[in-house]
Structure 1
Amino acid sequence: MRKLLFSAIFAVGAGLAGGAQAYQVSYNYTNTNVPGGDQSGKTSPFLTAANVAVPGSGIFIETFGARNGGGNAQGCGLDTPAGLVSLSGGSYAFRSGTVAGVAAAPAGDSTCYAYGPSQGGSLPDVVNVNYSGLLSQLGAGASLNYLGLYYGSIDTYNDLLFYNAQGGLIATVTGASLIDQFKGTSGNQQADSSNIYVNLFFEPGEQFTSFSFRTTGIAFEMDNVSVGFNVAPPSQVPEPGSLALLGLGIAAIGLTRRRKRSV
């Protein structure tokens, strides 16, 4: 079952002159806590409840369930085959369940997830997730235009940073901005407004090869990280300002009709 929480288009400055739009963002998701689902809470709307990509979708999913072997004592680790993705800088770990003062599982997620810093790790923590290996396999000129992740108990001190092949910063998505959009509470471990599936669709000139998750507090938690190429964003919906103008227009039409009837 799919549920639409909220969908909007944001203009992102990202250091670009004039506040040029770098990406579109939506909050659609597939509910995995259903019969036949993998019980990880929320995942990409392009995936099934079992966290499997729809054929031909161009989506690659990381559930941190070590489905390709390995993993820690809980069976948690990277699913992605070696060489396709690399993590560097900072500290991170994988686990299931919540441990006070260490990490909190995203709401409704009973499976493995990633978090940083790892227990005892230093702050601030910045970990880069690089998809150069995957892009090499896809072929020359390939780049990623979609990233989705189940963002658990978002805090104001959590951020996402996106980089192109040259290492240039494309965009920064702050936890504070997402909390503000949803009127959420920083660090709330249960509320829908603070445990969100975020889908980001980048413009052709702003496609990414890596992203970093950055946190200055304990902790940054995420699951069901999806990336893709040539992924079409959902249909654009009116922004709040446009909806207000539309409402004024409808009201004006109604007023005009009333005036005509009174003549």
Structure 2
Amino acid sequence: MKILKHNKKLAVFTATVIALAVSQSVSAAVVSFGGQVATDGSGKTSKKINADNTINALSDGFFVETFDKATAIDSLPLTPDESYNVAGASRGCAINSPLDVTASDSSVLNVRTGSVRNVAAAPAGDNTCYAYTTPSTVGVDSFVDIDYTNFLNSIGATVPSLAGSSVNYLGFYWGSVDTYNSFEFYSNDVLVGRITGDELLAELNGTAGDQVADSSNVYVNISFDASEAFNRLRVVSSGIAGEFDNIVVGLDKRDVPAPNSLAILGLGLLGLGMSKRFKK
């Protein structure tokens, strides 16, 4: 059950760098916490895109799913999918980005605005559309798969420079993190790794279900090694509910600016102090 703490001292954090365990591999996806304030009223979003959840050009290699029709990527031949909208609570909502969505049950995935007690709580500061999971049976894991395979196979026809790309960056806004929620990352059917609510809350000293604290309403960033070839995200939940928004993916064929050496040094020092491995 979600809880709301009005007087909790907000945890302050910037980017925490940790390693995401991968199956019997020496490589590891790098996870960091922290994004930017979204100027479209959706709380937090990735620093990889504009603060209003738009992209400059498809050739930049970034794509965003906000669950809002207003921020659909116009250059892609997509029809907004409203089949997951909640009646009476989803004005302006739709799945409209380059992804295929499947769920373990037709009622598991929902898209809406606003919060309803014992149903779903909008991520902190998010006044727009967001997605959430509802388990078929409370206490039993249900899942939603967000698959980029078909998109990756076809993007070269729209943007030739991105042909043959794989996903090497994934970001998402995780709202009121609970211990019964987790996000899993797959290369086809191979589990690359997972982040559980328990692990995130422990890392940031957060409180499960807190609807306002930065330590439990978190923008999560994952950078994947080329060998991991991430192409599918699975959201798993056994309770009410798993809320998320502003999913951003980046493709490895995009032009990447040369990194700032000082920034790399600072990131390395931070990693030394706060590194840990997530359980696979």
- TM bucket by the smaller chain? 0.7 to 0.9
Counterpart for residue 6 of structure 1: 14
Equivalents in 1 of 2:148, 2:28: separation in Å? 19
* Conserved? CA contact 1:152–1:196, under 8 Å: yes
What does residue 131 of structure 1 align with? 148
Match of 2:9 in 1: none
State the alpha-carbon separation in 1 of the partners of residues 121 and 102 from structure 2. 21
Structure with higher RCO (Cα < 8 A, 6+ apart): 2
Q: Structure 1: any 5+ residue segments left out of the alignment? A: 245-263
Once the two structures are TM-superposed, the CA of residue 194 in structure 1 deviates from its matched residue by 0.4
Give secondary structure in 2 for the equivalent of 1:192. coil
Normalised by the size of structure 1, how large is the TM-score? 0.79
User: Matched residues in 1 for 2:62 and 2:13: separation?
Assistant: 21
The answer to whether structure 1 residue 99 and structure 2 residue 116 are counterparts is: yes
- Residue 241 (structure 1) shift: 7.3
Q: Deviations over 1:157-200 (max 9, x none)?
A: 111111113x1111111111111111110110000110000010
Identity of aligned residues (%): 38
Change (3 A) 1:136 1:240: closer
Alpha-carbon shift at residue 239 of structure 1 (Å) = 4.7
Matched, 1:197 2:245: no
Tell me the equivalent position of 2:34: 28
Tell me what 2:199 maps to: 177
Distance 1:70 1:200, change over 3 A: closer
SS in 1 for 2:69: coil
Contact 2:64–2:246 (8 Å) recurs in 1: yes
Aligned partner of residue 134 in structure 1, secondary structure? helix
1:238 aligns with 2:257: no
User: With structure 2 as the length reference, what TM-score do the two structures score?
Assistant: 0.74
Structure (1 or 2) with the larger CA radius of gyration:
1
- Per-residue deviation, 1:148: 0.4
CA contact (8 A) 2:182 2:236 kept: yes
Other structure's SS at 1:94 match: strand
Classify 1:129/1:242 alpha carbon distance in 2 versus 1 (closer, same or farther; 3 Å): closer
**Mapping for residues 138-157 of structure 1, pairs under 5 Å:** 138-139=155-156, 141-157=164-180
8 Å CA contact 2:19, 2:31 repeated in 1: no
Q: CA deviation at 1:121?
A: 6.0
- With over 3 angstroms needed to count, the CA separation of the structure-2 counterparts of 1:113 and 1:243, relative to structure 1, is closer
Q: Contact 1:9–1:26 at 8 Å: present in 2 too?
A: yes
What is the aligned length? 231
CA–CA distance in structure 2, aligned partners of residues 96 and 66 of structure 1 = 13
Q: Which secondary structure state, in structure 2, belongs to the residue aligned with residue 159 of structure 1?
A: strand
Match of 2:130 in 1: 113
Q: 1: CA distance between counterparts of 2:196 and 2:61?
A: 27
* 1:216-240 Cα distance to aligned partner (Å, 9 max, x none): 2111000001111127698541355
